[in-house]
Amino acid sequence: MRITCPHCGARDSREFSYLGDAKMAAGKGDFASVYLRDNPAGAHSELWQHVMGCRAWLEVERNTSTHEVLSIREAGK
Amino acid sequence: MKYSVLEILRQGLTGNKGWQPLWRNPGPKPAYDVVIIGGGGHGLATAYYLAKTHGIHNIAVLEKGYIGGGNVGRNTTIVRADYGQKGNSAFYSHSLKLWQGLSAELNYNVMFSPRGLLELCHSDGQLEAYNRRANMIAAQGDQVEMLDRAGVRAYAPYLGFESARFPIRGGLLQRTAGTARHDAVAWGYARAADRLGVDILQKCEVTGIDIANGKLQGVQTSRGVIRAKKLAICVAGRSSQVAGMAGMRLPIESHVLQAFVTEGLKPFINTVINFGVGHFYISQSDKGGLVFGGDLDGYNSYAQRGSLSQVEHVAEAGMSMIPALGKARLLRSWGGIMDMSMDGAPIIDKTHIKGLYFNGGWCYGGFKAIPASGSAYARLIATGSLPDYAAAYRLSRFESGHLINEEGTGAQPGLH
């Protein structure tokens, strides 16, 4: 799997660290946002950090059934 | 037909013409007392114990594919009872006891082979931690012993004892742990359940769950509407989708875990071994193939295939532990979907919908749990309460804070 970092270009997914569903970070820290997940089979917005590169947090939309990356942007922007 | 030596002789003398299929292939009835979604190990075991122990025979097991085609036929077949956390230890201890009598119980050879499980320790700290765990396992009543370096060398001489980076300091050995033939477990439970009147409906995919006024009515399936007094979800790898049909959100993420098998080799690995530093485990199948696996790929996936980077990582861990492994040729690798719960422990519970039950979130430990999970889930469905050995697996524990976090990694399923 390759992830195209907006700063560094297309890189191997090994350069990135995975956090999980992007909704989690947008939540209020309550039970539902910490523990419950939609866990869709299909398009999923998720947070990856380019730890071996620019260290930016990215919001990646990815199809969990095919691993196809649908869109990438810097998280929180 | 009951299998016995006498039956083999009788069939042999009459040209082996009397053998029957292991289970019937009935059409769906319009209504059942209990409908179980998922014809994997857990679903079939649940049906079996409902019929055998609780006398409920009007049961259907719905399987969207075929029996043995899901995660029950995709795992690395390890059976062990080496858990330390309260809630887990009693459950897996009970499960191991059921494994020991399972072939006789089902009248079907599940080839349970208690060949032992060795967990390696590579540092003083790890040795201390495993000593503590061994004491907890012993206190639970299960067999366990600690080996020193010489003991490990005598037990498994092919390990990499010359490694300077990961020196082997000792190991935790459970001689009663081992492996079983996973297909036979599915077939054995299916046959035993069928003999007690359970309808096994293959190629029957659930497309909707009918609920009215907070009470379960039945299910929509690819083979028509089936009404049910009680509905039991038991679908490894699709828990969120099926529970979603009932409007539920679960504390579960689905991840991919890869497993590997080499070409058949002469007897080499005499036990099951867990590497103490990398996440790597290996055993040798009865056919001779070395069966091994490692960590999750680490991101949500339903693709049933993983990244090549993880293949490399697992191969590196394997080579660190057993240098000779590098000479074996890899035959196959595959990916299975694990429903990872937020604390790494499973869920067996009622739901807020009357008549709807949930069993799932087995992470990558579902296979060894099959007998205890089935008997606990059957008890819950039949009587409304869980047996003591499974009483900690409540869905509400995530909200109440009673987590069973064996790895201590927090609400990060990809790290368990």
Query: What does the pLDDT look like over B188-197, one tens digit per residue?
Result: 999 999 999 9
- Distance (Å, rounded) from C-alpha B270 to C-alpha B179? 11
d(Cα B15, Cα B188) in Å, to the nearest integer?
A: 24
pLDDT at B195: 97
Of the CATH numbers 3.40.50.2000, 1.10.10.10, 3.40.50.720, 3.30.2270.10, which one belongs to the domain with range A2-74?
Answer: 3.30.2270.10
Cα–Cα nearest to B44, from B22, B27, B29, B28: B22
For the domain made up of B114-177+253-341, the CATH class stated in words is alpha beta
10 Å Cβ neighbour count for A61?
Answer: 15
Helix (H, G, I), strand (E, B) or coil at B301: coil
Which pLDDT does position B304 carry in this prediction?
Answer: 92
A–B: how many Cβ contacts below 8 A? 62
Count Cβ atoms below 10 Å from residue B204 Cβ, excluding itself.
23
Q: Do A13 and B300 touch (CB under 8 A)?
A: no
The structural domains of chain A, with segments of one domain joined by +, span 2-74
Give the span between the Cα atoms of B254 and B290, in whole angstroms. Answer: 26
Tell me how far apart the alpha carbons of residues B100 and B113 are, in angstroms, rounded to a whole number.
Answer: 9
From residue B21, how far is each of B11, B17, B319, B329 by CA, in Å? 14, 12, 44, 36
Record: contact A64-B342, CB cut-off 8 A: no
What is the structure's pLDDT at A77? 77
Instruction: Residue A41: list chain B partners with CB under 8 A.
Output: 238, 241, 254, 302
Rounded to 5°, angle at Cα B246 from B245 and B250: 90
Residue A28 binned pLDDT confidence (cut-offs 50, 70, 90): confident
Number of neighbours of residue B6 by Cβ within 10 angstroms = 9
Split at pLDDT 50, 70, 90, the class of A5 is very high
CA-nearest of B296, B294, B303, B292 to B257 is B296
Residue ranges, chain B, pLDDT below 70: none
Residue B299 to residue A46, Cβ atoms within 8 A: yes
A27: confidence class by pLDDT, cuts 50, 70, 90? confident
Q: Where in chain B is the domain with CATH 3.30.9.10?
A: 114-177+253-341
Nearest CA-CA distance, residue A76 and chain B, Å? 20
* Predicted local distance difference test score (pLDDT) of residue B411: 84
Kindly indicate whether the ipTM for this predicted assembly is greater than 0.85, answering yes or no: yes
Asked if B177 and B96 touch (Cβ cutoff 8 Å), the reply is: yes
d(CA B99, CA B108) in angstroms, rounded, equals 12
Q: What pLDDT sits at residue B278?
A: 82
Would you say residue A25 has pLDDT above 90? Answer: no
- Supply the pLDDT for residue A24: 85
User: At B19, which amino acid appears?
Assistant: W
B309·A66 Cβ contact <8 A: no
**What is the predicted pLDDT for the residue at B415?**
84
Q: Which CATH superfamily is domain B25-78+182-250+343-415 in?
A: FAD/NAD(P)-binding domain (3.50.50.60)
Over the range B263-296, which residues count as b (16 or more CB within 10 Å of their CB) and which as e?
Answer: eebeeebebbbbbbbbebbbbbbeeebbbbbbbb
Tell me which chain B residues have a C-beta less than 8 angstroms from the C-beta of A66: 303
Indicate where chain B has its CATH 3.50.50.60 domain(s). 25-78+182-250+343-415
